[in-house]
């Protein structure tokens, strides 16, 4: 079913269209909530948004997912229980989503959600502007997935400067970790009492299912080898150069080790050249992007996160769900929180190849029991995430 409200197109949920902004479940009135995301690229932030929206809708909440565009893999994974709204904005990064503000205002006036969630900086700014312009009382909660100081220096400093001022007009800034919350307070005009930490949830059942699927890589089926796996975009911030240097050092004493870097990105050629320079090219594999990295994780002797900076690295939580033995850099921010100060995985200094090599060796000698890793992953389950969002929604909508 389609309708048009101020230039938007929507697919109504299987529950039908609601005239009121509340839904009743088990005799309780649940407010309508909306999640605003740019799309169509299906990156980490969008994936988390869909996971949360699906989880809440499946619990009976009236959930709208409002996207700049709805297409591809992004559209395919949205639950039928979620009402989708497409703003049909231009496919211009940043500018396109800001151009959708008038349509988003029309959406808010028509559907009147009690809470509007947004994520990613340009989308957050559009949500703040829309909340001010719409003729409806809506609680605007914007989300930061990355450290704000990193954005200001390494990503888009101009946008970060604008956000540092306009974020104060949001009702709340949600962050995915305590560390990211600290960077928001330190680098914007947002006070501590206006930040809320809500960890990203993961679909543990889907991850475990993916981990059991076959994968076409000879090293993963050889019981005489010790595959070390890392998954991520091949770019400098992920620290793969340090990991390669650490692997080259480790490989001297443990020639049975192999390194598999799963992902694509601009550093692929440089990393391939570095592996040759270090003399380990025959023991390093870069298989490229896969939509099921869990098949690699589930067969890893050790999973390594070598990043220089993170927000809350979802891939580390996914590795826990796969039952991996984990080694991670103690980068800002997230790994220490996820691994509880090293209780569920080993932490090592950022950029220190020698320490990383030694720590991976220790992990190979004394692996973490898989059930211990999986136990920690439960904190980040879809059910736990939905619980946290339900509590948050109740806290900001109760009279």
Mean pLDDT of the chain: 89
Cα(28)–Cα(62) distance, integer angstroms: 13
pLDDT at 74: 74
| 5 — pLDDT class (breaks 50, 70, 90) | very low
Cα(59)–Cα(54) distance, integer angstroms: 9
The pLDDT of 11-30, averaged and rounded, is: 46
pLDDT at 157: 74
pLDDT tens digits, 269-303: 999 999 999 999 999 999 999 999 999 999 999 99
pLDDT at 122: 85
Cα(41)–Cα(92) distance, integer angstroms: 12
pLDDT at 153: 52
| 77 — pLDDT class (breaks 50, 70, 90) | confident
Cα(222)–Cα(224) distance, integer angstroms: 5
pLDDT tens digits, 42-70: 567 788 899 999 999 999 999 999 988 88
Lateral strand order in the sheet of 63-67: 4-5, 8-11, 83-86, 63-67, 33-37, 115-119, 139-144, 172-175, 195-197
Domains of the chain: 4-201+381-397 (3.40.50.2000), 205-379 (3.40.50.2000)
% the chain with pLDDT above 70: 87
Among 68-82, 109-123, 337-351, where is mean pLDDT lowest? 68-82
pLDDT tens digits, 176-221: 999 999 999 999 999 999 999 999 899 999 999 999 999 999 999 9
pLDDT tens digits, 378-398: 999 999 999 999 999 999 998
* HSE-up (13 A, CA, CB side) for residue 89: 25
Pairing, β 33-37 against β 63-67: parallel
| 268 — pLDDT class (breaks 50, 70, 90) | very high
- pLDDT higher than threshold 80 for residue 317: yes
The pLDDT of 330-359, averaged and rounded, is: 97
Cα(338)–Cα(106) distance, integer angstroms: 40
pTM of structure = 0.81
**Is 25 or 120 the better-scoring residue by pLDDT?**
120
Residue tagged 């020639």 (tokens): 255
pLDDT at 1: 28
pLDDT at 38: 75
pLDDT at 94: 57
The pLDDT of 147-173, averaged and rounded, is: 79
Cα(173)–Cα(182) distance, integer angstroms: 11
pLDDT at 69: 82
Among 90-104, 227-241, 250-264, 350-364, where is mean pLDDT lowest? 90-104
% the chain with pLDDT above 90: 73
**Is 115 or 27 the better-scoring residue by pLDDT?**
115
Burial class from Cβ neighbours inside 10 Å (0-12, 13-18, 19+) for residue 397 reads middle
The pLDDT of 155-164, averaged and rounded, is: 78
pLDDT at 96: 64
pLDDT tens digits, 102-125: 999 999 999 999 999 998 888 899
- pLDDT higher than threshold 60 for residue 359: yes
Pairing, β 28-31 against β 33-37: unpaired
Cα(57)–Cα(40) distance, integer angstroms: 21
């Amino acid at each position: 079913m389609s309708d048009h409200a101020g230039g938007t197109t929507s697919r109504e949920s299987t529950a039908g269209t609601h005239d009121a902004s509340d839904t009743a479940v088990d005799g309780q009135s649940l407010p309508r909530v909306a999640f605003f995301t740019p799309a169509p690229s299906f990156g980490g932030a969008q994936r988390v948004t869909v996971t949360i929206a699906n989880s809440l809708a499946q619990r009976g909440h009236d959930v709208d997912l409002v996207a700049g565009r709805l297409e591809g893999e992004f559209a395919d994974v949205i639950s039928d229980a979620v009402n989708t709204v497409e703003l049909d904005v231009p496919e211009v990064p940043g500018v396109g989503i800001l151009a959708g503000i008038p349509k988003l205002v029309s959406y808010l006036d028509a559907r009147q959600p009690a809470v509007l969630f947004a994520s990613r900086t340009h989308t957050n700014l559009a949500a703040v502007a829309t909340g001010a312009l719409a003729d409806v009382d809506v609680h605007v909660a914007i989300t930061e997935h990355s450290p704000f100081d990193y954005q200001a220096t390494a990503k888009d400093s101009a946008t970060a400067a604008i956000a540092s001022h306009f974020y104060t007009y949001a009702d709340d800034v949600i962050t995915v970790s305590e560390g990211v919350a600290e960077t928001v307070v330190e680098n914007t005009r947002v006070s501590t009492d206006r930040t809320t930490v809500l960890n990203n949830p993961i679909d543990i059942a889907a991850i475990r299912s993916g981990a059991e699927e076959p994968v076409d890589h000879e090293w993963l089926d050889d019981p005489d080898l010790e595959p070390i796996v890392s998954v991520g975009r091949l770019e400098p911030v992920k620290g793969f150069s340090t990991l390669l240097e650490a692997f080259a050092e480790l490989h001297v004493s443990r020639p049975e080790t192999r390194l598999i870097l799963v992902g694509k990105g601009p550093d692929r050629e440089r990393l391939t050249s570095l592996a040759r320079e270090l003399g380990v090219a025959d023991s390093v594999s870069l298989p490229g992007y896969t939509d099921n990295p869990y098949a690699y994780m589930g067969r890893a002797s050790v999973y390594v996160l070598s990043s220089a900076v993170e927000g809350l690295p979802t891939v580390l939580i996914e590795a826990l769900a796969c039952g991996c033995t984990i080694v991670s850099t103690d980068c800002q921010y997230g790994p220490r929180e996820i691994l509880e100060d090293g209780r569920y995985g080993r932490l090592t200094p950022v950029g220190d190849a020698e320490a990383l090599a030694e720590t991976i060796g220790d992990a190979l000698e004394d692996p973490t029991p898989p059930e211990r890793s999986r136990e920690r992953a439960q904190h980040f389950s879809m059910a736990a995430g939905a619980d946290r969002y339900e509590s948050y929604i109740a806290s900001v909508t109760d009279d």
